[in-house]
């Protein structure tokens, strides 16, 4: 498993914002829009995966990054 903490998440947000050429708050809003799109998606598989990770609650962008990072497996 990947060791990740709050400071790491803030660094991820900052790096993502810089890569997209936007502020951190704009990047967080973009992630929140992605979360909203998944919740409102008509793709049942996408919603099923989301519910598997988060249940019936809506995560914050920070929680989303943390959970997706923890649950993602990398195969070499």
Instruction: Output the average pLDDT for the chain.
Output: 89
DSSP secondary structure code for residue 42 in this structure: S
Residues 46 and 38: beta-carbon distance below 8 Å: yes
Helix or strand or coil: residue 1? coil
d(CA 18, CA 12): 10
DSSP secondary structure code for residue 10 in this structure: H
Model confidence pTM above 0.85: no
Does position 75 have pLDDT exceeding 80, yes or no?
no
Indicate the domain borders of the chain.
Answer: 6-71
Residues 28 and 13: beta-carbon distance below 8 Å: yes
Encode pLDDT of 38-57 as tens digits: 999 999 999 999 999 999 99
């Amino acid at each position: 498993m990947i060791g990740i903490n709050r400071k790491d998440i803030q660094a991820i947000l900052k790096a993502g914002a810089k890569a997209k050429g936007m502020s951190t708050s704009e990047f967080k809003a973009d992630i929140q829009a992605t979360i909203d799109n998944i919740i409102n998606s008509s793709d049942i598989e996408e919603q099923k995966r989301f519910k598997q990770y988060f249940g019936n609650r809506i995560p914050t962008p920070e929680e989303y990054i943390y959970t997706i990072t923890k649950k993602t497996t990398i195969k070499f």
